[in-house]
């Protein structure tokens, strides 16, 4: 099968979080299964651009990735050369898979696929959530939905969501305008394996050697609910909180002030973005992993922690928690700081129970959420066209 993925940003622009990792995991697994896989994306990397060749194929783990220069308006990830290549080559593909909403590449690819009568599927990647729309640029997003996104959704051969939670959110907005398919994200063993014995950074080594810690990995975004987790730490003693991730929204200083105001500054550490050996070492060293999100269509960081054998605590807004397979493999708690503190405290006080939970989590991650298995499920969805 000849598959084209269209996504506004791509690795190594890790600042954009889980969707990049997820799209590449799927594309690489599809290529490994024998499909002809191409990615069209931009060279976006925050305020700058990736140091990559543009306008030609770049091999990334067996996937032909085409990067195109981003132009004005940059916040919409507009790339005129991408549109030209779509017009020229869209007919070369059997199926097109779009990843994102509210951004220019999605609507450009949808219109090109419509004209060429090529079936396309759309993954909103957690952006079509009522609360998220209401609290983050509500009027712009509602206008975009009305003028652009409804047509794109209605014209899709299918809408692919990553969890039952995301499916319910889409239906609540009245945007289930094409057949819905729930296909989870997978986990990738390579980033968890480190970098072939690469040395740890001194900062990560110091964090691990300082004693027990609760770990969060992810972007320092509003939707991640880190305020909840910092507040929960006030009820926990003799344990630290390590927060690792990109601060592309400029939230770190506010979180640091919150920790200082609660007298928690000595026990809350910010590690910055981590990958490879550093990330694996933090996962291995964590007493508990926590993802306290306000809105999370799936929760790839929680799945990676499960695969590493960590006991994981999440809030109900994390889509991963909606899968029956994980019912006995992670802890779902209420969203309040008191709820988080109670469940974290229980695991910290009972190492044997925490270890058992981690063992079940690792088994579930490997059995049900490998990228090979997810790629097979995705091919079944494509073939329903």
The pLDDT value given to residue 145: 93
Provide the pLDDT confidence category of residue 41 given band limits of 50, 70 and 90. Answer: very high
Least confident of 17-21, 45-49, 149-153, 202-206: 17-21
Asked if 194 and 276 count as a contact pair (C-beta separation under 8 A), the reply is yes
Kindly report the backbone phi and psi dihedral angles of residue 161, in degrees, each rounded to the nearest multiple of 5, phi listed first.
-110, 160
Tokens representing 198? 């690469």
Same fold, 2-186+370-382 and 191-368: yes
Q: What pLDDT does residue 242 have?
A: 98
Which fold does the domain 191-368 belong to in CATH?
A: Rossmann fold (3.40.50)
* Cα 205 from chain centroid (whole Å): 26
pLDDT band at residue 195 using 50, 70 and 90 as cut-offs? very low
Which band of pLDDT confidence, cut at 50, 70 and 90, is reported for residue 197? low
Lowest mean pLDDT among 36-45, 195-204, 375-384: 195-204
Q: How far apart are CA 70 and CA 42, in angstroms?
A: 6
And the tokens for 48? Answer: 């700058």
Between residues 258 and 132, the one the model is more confident about: 258
Parse the chain into domains and list their residue ranges: 2-186+370-382, 191-368
- In CATH, the architecture of 2-186+370-382 is 3-Layer(aba) Sandwich (3.40)
pLDDT digits (tens, 9 = 90+) for 265-276: 999 999 999 988
Question: Could you give the CA distance from residue 149 to residue 26 in angstroms, rounded to a whole number?
Answer: 24
pTM (whole model) above 0.75: yes
Mean pLDDT of 257-284: 95
Q: Are 349 and 297 in contact (CB under 8 A)?
A: no
Buried b / exposed e along 149-183 (16+ C-beta atoms within 10 A): bebbbebbbbbbbbbebbbebbeeeebbbbeebbb
Is the pLDDT assigned to residue 53 strictly greater than 70?
yes
């Amino acid at each position: 099968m000849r598959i084209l993925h269209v996504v506004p940003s791509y690795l190594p622009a890790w600042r954009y979080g889980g969707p990049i990792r997820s799209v590449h995991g799927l594309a690489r697994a599809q290529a490994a299964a024998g499909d002809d896989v191409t990615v069209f994306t931009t060279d976006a990397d925050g305020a700058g651009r990736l140091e990559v060749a543009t306008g030609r194929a770049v091999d990334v783990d067996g996937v032909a990735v085409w990067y195109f220069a981003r132009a004005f308006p940059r916040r919409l990830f507009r790339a005129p050369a991408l549109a030209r290549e779509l017009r020229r080559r869209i007919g070369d593909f059997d199926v097109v898979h779009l990843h994102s909403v509210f951004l220019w590449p999605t609507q450009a690819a949808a219109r090109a696929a419509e004209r060429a009568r090529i079936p396309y599927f759309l993954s909103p990647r957690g952006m079509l959530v009522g609360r998220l729309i209401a609290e983050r640029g509500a009027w712009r997003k509602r206008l975009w939905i009305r003028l652009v996104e409804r047509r794109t959704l209605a014209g899709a051969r299918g809408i692919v969501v990553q969890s039952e939670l995301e499916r319910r959110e889409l239906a609540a907005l009245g945007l289930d305008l094409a057949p819905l398919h729930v296909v989870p994200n997978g986990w990738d063993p390579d980033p968890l394996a480190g970098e072939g014995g690469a040395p740890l950074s001194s900062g990560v080594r110091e964090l691990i050697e300082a004693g027990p810690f609760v770990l969060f990995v992810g972007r320092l975004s509003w939707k991640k609910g880190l305020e909840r987790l910092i507040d929960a730490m006030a009820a926990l003693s003799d344990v630290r909180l390590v927060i690792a991730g990109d601060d592309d929204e400029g939230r770190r200083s506010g979180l640091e002030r919150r920790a200082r105001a609660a007298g928690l500054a000595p026990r809350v550490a910010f590690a910055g973005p981590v990958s490879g050996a550093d990330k694996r070492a933090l996962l291995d060293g964590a007493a508990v992993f926590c993802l306290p999100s306000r809105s999370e269509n799936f929760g790839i960081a929680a799945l990676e922690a499960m695969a590493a054998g960590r006991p994981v605590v999440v809030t109900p807004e994390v889509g991963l928690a909606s899968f029956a397979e994980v019912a006995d493999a992670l802890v779902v708690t209420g969203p309040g700081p008191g709820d988080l503190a109670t469940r974290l405290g229980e695991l910290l006080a009972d190492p044997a129970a925490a270890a058992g939970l981690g063992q079940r989590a690792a088994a579930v991650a490997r059995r049900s959420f490998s990228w090979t298995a997810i790629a097979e499920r995705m091919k079944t969805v494509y073939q329903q066209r």
